[in-house]
Amino acid sequence: ANGAPASLQAKAGISCAKLHAKLGELPQAEQFIREAVQMYEVTCGETSPLTASAYHELGKCLWKQRKRPDAQKALKRAYEIESMKDAWDLVTLLEIHNLLMDTHLKETDHIERSKFVEYFKTVEYIVGRVRKELPQDGNAAVYYKAAAEL
């Protein structure tokens, strides 16, 4: 509206990014996702579920390009925001967690264990929510295992 960014533009940008990614055009996909992240932060807020989803998409796109530090930064932000959502999804959190761990453990000769400290606060918060808010079933056990491995 009046040249200002709108969340519908961001949503369209994410759709374009997914198409570019399917075509193997990852730099173009990255550009669309980065624009969407900025639009969502302005129009919906920095902790919006839409912002979290856009950071998740950005992290996936960056990791596919093996842009390790940038992927870690985007996925860390997605993980933090997703963990705070009222309507949170453990499967999404596990996907982000596992992808984030991949960026640290795969295709590297040097694992910087000190970097994992950055995620402890978020993991502890999620473990607390899983204990309080979810049935203690197989899904909970999978998250506990992933958290413990961190």
Give all domains of the chain, ordered by start, each with its CATH number.
7-149 (1.25.40.10)
**Cα separation, 105 vs 100, whole angstroms:** 9
Kindly state the tokens that stand for 39.
Answer: 């639009």
Question: What is the dihedral angle through the alpha carbons of 136, 138, 143, 146, rounded to the nearest 10 degrees?
Answer: 140
**Cα separation, 64 vs 70, whole angstroms:** 11
Q: Which segments of the chain have a pLDDT < 70?
A: 1-4
pTM score, two decimals? 0.93
The per-residue b/e assignment along 99-117, b for 16 or more CB within 10 angstroms, e otherwise, is bbbebbeeeeeeeeeeeee
| Tens digit of each residue's pLDDT (9 = 90 or more) over 10-37 | 999 999 999 999 999 999 999 999 999 9
pLDDT value of residue 5: 73
pLDDT value of residue 1: 52
**Cα separation, 90 vs 140, whole angstroms:** 8
